[in-house]
Structure 1
Amino acid sequence: RVGLIVPAYLIPYGIATLVFGLLADRLGIHRVMFASLAAFAILTALTATAASIEQIALWRVLTGLGASGVVPLGLALVGRLYPYEQRGRPLGWLFGAMAGGMAFGSPAGAMLVPFVGWQGLFLVVGAAGAGILLLFLPYRRIIAAAVQPVAGTFGDLFRGYKSLLGTPRGQRTYGYVLVNSMFHSGVFTWLGVYFEQRHGVGPVGVGLALLGYGVPGFLLGPMIGRAADRWGRARLLPLGLALSAVAAALLILGFPLILAPVVAMLLSLGYDMTQPLFGGIVTSLGGKRPGQAMGLNVFMLFVGMGLGSLIFGEMLRFGFEVSLGLFTMVELGLAAMSIRLFRSEVVQVRSS
C-alpha cells in the first residue's frame, strides 16, 4: 500500500505535463512554471495534514497534477537558451540535480524523520519549494523573453503531437524515454526494500546505501553532457543503457553491503548517460512549440517511472531474481538496438 504512493505522484505528474506544455506555449513559460512551483510548495505542505495512507496518496495525486509544470518547462527553457550542439552541459546539470535530489533526499529524510516526524518532513520540503520560488521570481523577465507565447487551436495541438511522433527520430526517442524510465524507476523504487530484505539494514542504512545514486549525476552530469556535445549521443547512449543493465545484474548476483553505494552509483551513471541525452534530442524536435515537445517527453518519463514502479512491485511476488532478471534483459535489448537506432545522433545532427 505504501508503495502505491510513488506512482500516485508520478503518473498524474506525467499526464498533467501534456496540459502544462500546451499552456506554456500559449501563456508563456514563466507564468506556468511559477504557478506550478507555487502549487508544489502549497500541496506538499498540506500533505502533512493526512491521517492515513489513502489520504497521503490523494495529496500526492494532487501534488503531481499541480507540480508538473516545473521540470518539463525547465527543460524547454534550456532548449531555447542554448543551441543544440551546446545543450548537453546544461541538461547534464539539470538531470544531475534531479538525480542528486533523489539520492540526497533519501538519507536526509531518513535522518530527519526521528526529529521532525514525517509530517515535519513534508512541511520542510514545502517551505523549501516556496523559498526556491521567491529566489527565482527576479528572473521571470529573462525567462519570459527567452520563449514567447505561441497562439494556436486544438487542431494545431494534435498536429503538433502527430508531427512529434510522426518521424522515426521522434518515435525512437520518445519510446526509449518511456521504457528506460520504467527500468530505472522499477529498480530504484524497490532498491530500499531489496537492501532491507537481503541485508537487514534499517531506514538510515537504506538511505546511506542509496546515497551513491546521486553522485554521478551531481558531479559528472555536466561532463557527460559536454561529452555528448563533443562526440555525439550515438556513442554514449548504448554505453549508458548497458551500464544500467550491469547494475541490475549485480543486484541479482549479490555483493557485500559495503559496496551498495557503488552499485547505486553505477545504476545512476546509466541513467545520467541516457535520459539527459534523450532530452537533448527532444529539444531539437519541438520547433516553435518547445513546451509541447518537452511536455510529451516528461509525460513519457514520469508515466514510465510510475508504470515501472507498479510493474516491478507486482512482479516481486515471484521474487527479486525474477523481477531484476526481466528488467535486465529488457535493458540489454535496448542497449543492443540503440547502436543502430541512434547511429545518426552524431555531432550537430539537425534532422531525422
Structure 2
Amino acid sequence: MLRTALVLGLLALVGPFAIDMYLPAMPGIATAFGTSETAVQATLTAYFIAFGAAQLVYGPLADRFGRRPPVFLGLAIFIAGSAGAALAGSIESLIAWRTLQGLGGAALMVVPRAIVRDLYTGPQATRLMAMIMLVISVSPMLAPLAGSAVIAFAGWRTIFAVLTAAGLLSLLVTALAQPETLPPTRRLPINARALARGARQLLGDPGFMGLTLVGGFGMASFFVFLASAPFVYVRQFGLSPTGFSLAFAINAIGFFSASQAAGYLGDRMGMRSLVRRGTAGFTLCTLVLFALALAGAATLPVIVAGLFCANLCLGVVIPTAMVLALDDHGENAGLAASLGGTLQMLAGGVMILAAGPFFDGTALPMLGAIAVCGLAALGLTAAMLPRARIA
C-alpha cells in the first residue's frame, strides 16, 4: 500500500503544485500586467472550472481504456499549458494557458481516485486516500515556499517552467512505476446512453450527492482562501511572499495531519459519524472566525490559528467523504470519481466568483465566504447524509 500511495500521491501532487506554487506571485502578477486583483483571481477560477469540467471526460476514458492512458493524455496537455503560461504576454493569455493546465491536470485527480477504488474499499481505502494526501501535503507546505524562492531569484515565469518539468517527471513515474489496475475484462465501452444513465443514477443517489457536495463545499473553502489569502496576508498584514508561504503552511499542516487519523477514527466511531462530527466542528470554527472579523478582532494570529483548527476538522471529512461517495459505485468508479470531482471543483469555482464582488483586500469577505461554505456543508450533512447507504 505504501508504494501505491507514494506513486499516486506524486501524480496527484502535480495539480495542487500548479495552484500552490504560484500563490505568492499573485500580487506581483497583478503589478506586472497592470491589472486588478480580481483579474488575477480569474487565473485560479479558470483553472478550477477547467479542472472540474475535464474530469467528466477522464472518468469514462479511464473506464474504457484503463487507468494509465488518460494519465498520459492529461500530462501532455498539462505540460503544454505550463509551457504556454511561462510565455504569457498578457493576463488574458495567462488565463487561457491556465485553463489548458486545468484541462490536463484533471486526469491526475480522477484516475488516482479510481485506482484507489480498484484496489480497496471502506476503511482500507480511507487509509490509502489519507496516505496519498500525506504525500500531497508537501504541496501546500513547501510549494509556496518554493514559489517564493523562484520569484526571488528568477521571477514568476520560472514557476511555470518548473511546473513543466514536474509534468515531464510525472510522465516518467507513470511509465515506470504505476501498473494498470483495471483489467480488460472490467473495462466499459464508451456509450453515450450508458453514461447518461450512469450520471442520472449518481445524480439521483442522495448518498453520493450529499457526500460529494459536503466534500465539495469543504474544498470550496480552500479555494476561496487560495484566491484571497495572497492579497490579504501580503497587503493587509504586510507579509512578504515568504511570510505568506509560512502562514499558509501552518493551515495546511492542520488539514493533512488530521487526514492521517481519518481511517483510524472511521473504524472507531463509524464513517458517517466521522463526517457529521468533522463537518460540525469545521462550521463552528469558521463561524467563530467570521464573528471575530465582524467585531474587528481578526488579527493575523487569530486568523491563522482559527483556520488551523477549522482545517483539523476538515481533514477528517474530505478523505472520508470521497471514499464513502464511491463505495456503492464500484462498477463505474471512473464515472463516479469524475462526476464527483467535477461537482466539487465547480463548487469551488462558483464560490470564488460569488465572493469576488465582495472582496476588498481585507480578511472579512474571505472569512465570510469560508463560513458560508461551512454552513452549506453542515446543511447538506443534516439533510442528505442520513439517507446514504453507509455504515
**Fold similarity call, TM over 0.5:** yes
Among 98, 101, 106, the residue aligned to 1:63? 101
Distance 1:295 1:249 in 2: 34
Note if contact 2:212-2:343 (Cα within 8 Å) is conserved in structure 1: yes
Aligned to 2:123: 85
Note if contact 1:89-1:224 (Cα within 8 Å) is conserved in structure 2: yes
> What's the secondary structure of 2:155's corresponding residue?
helix
Q: In the alignment, does 2:126 pair up with 1:94?
A: no
Distance 2:279 2:331 in 1: 31
Aligned partner letter, 2:207: R
Within 5 A, what are the aligned runs for 1:11-50? 11-50=49-88
Unaligned runs of 5+ in 1: none
Within 5 A, what are the aligned runs for 1:154-303? 154-245=192-283, 246-247=285-286, 249-250=288-289, 253=292, 254-258=297-301, 261-303=304-346
1:39-75 deviation digits (Å, cap 9, x = unpaired): 3234213321111211111100111112211111101
Report the CA distance shift for 1:322/1:169 in structure 2 as closer, same or farther (over 3 A): same
Distance 2:300 2:339 in 1: 39
RMSD: 2.7
Structure with bigger RCO (C-alpha 8 Å, 6+ apart): 1
Distance 1:115 1:196 in 2: 19
Q: In the alignment, does 2:119 pair up with 1:119?
A: no
Report the CA distance shift for 1:104/1:146 in structure 2 as closer, same or farther (over 3 A): farther
Note if contact 1:99-1:213 (Cα within 8 Å) is conserved in structure 2: no
1:4-23 deviation digits (Å, cap 9, x = unpaired): 11011110110010011111
Single out whichever of 35-44 and 136-145 deviates more from structure 2.
136-145
> What's the secondary structure of 1:200's corresponding residue?
coil
Over the matched positions of the two proteins, sequence identity in percent amounts to 24
> What's the secondary structure of 2:274's corresponding residue?
helix
Distance 1:107 1:304 in 2: 27
Single out whichever of 230-239 and 279-288 deviates more from structure 2.
230-239
Note if contact 2:46-2:99 (Cα within 8 Å) is conserved in structure 1: yes
Note if contact 1:29-1:144 (Cα within 8 Å) is conserved in structure 2: yes
Distance 1:102 1:57 in 2: 22
Distance 2:278 2:184 in 1: 32
Aligned partner letter, 2:280: A
Report the CA distance shift for 1:192/1:322 in structure 2 as closer, same or farther (over 3 A): closer
Distance 2:194 2:154 in 1: 49
Distance 1:251 1:331 in 2: 11
Note if contact 2:232-2:361 (Cα within 8 Å) is conserved in structure 1: no
Report the CA distance shift for 1:229/1:150 in structure 2 as closer, same or farther (over 3 A): farther
Report the CA distance shift for 1:67/1:321 in structure 2 as closer, same or farther (over 3 A): closer
Single out whichever of 196-205 and 65-74 deviates more from structure 2.
196-205
How many residue pairs match? The answer is: 348
Distance 2:317 2:381 in 1: 11
Q: How far apart are 1:263 and its partner, in Å?
A: 3.5
TM-score by length of 2: 0.80
Note if contact 1:285-1:293 (Cα within 8 Å) is conserved in structure 2: no
TM-score by length of 1: 0.88
1:121-173 deviation digits (Å, cap 9, x = unpaired): 11112212211221231234343549942124210000000111222212322
1:217-252 deviation digits (Å, cap 9, x = unpaired): 443423223322442222222332233331463265
Aligned partner letter, 2:375: L
Q: Which runs of 4+ in 1 moved over 6 A?
A: none
Report the CA distance shift for 1:303/1:329 in structure 2 as closer, same or farther (over 3 A): closer
Report the CA distance shift for 1:146/1:110 in structure 2 as closer, same or farther (over 3 A): farther
Distance 1:228 1:188 in 2: 29
Report the CA distance shift for 1:252/1:188 in structure 2 as closer, same or farther (over 3 A): farther
Report the CA distance shift for 1:90/1:140 in structure 2 as closer, same or farther (over 3 A): closer
Q: How far apart are 1:204 and its partner, in Å?
A: 1.8
Aligned to 2:14: none
Distance 1:19 1:85 in 2: 28
Distance 2:263 2:94 in 1: 37
Single out whichever of 22-31 and 314-323 deviates more from structure 2.
314-323
Distance 2:68 2:75 in 1: 11
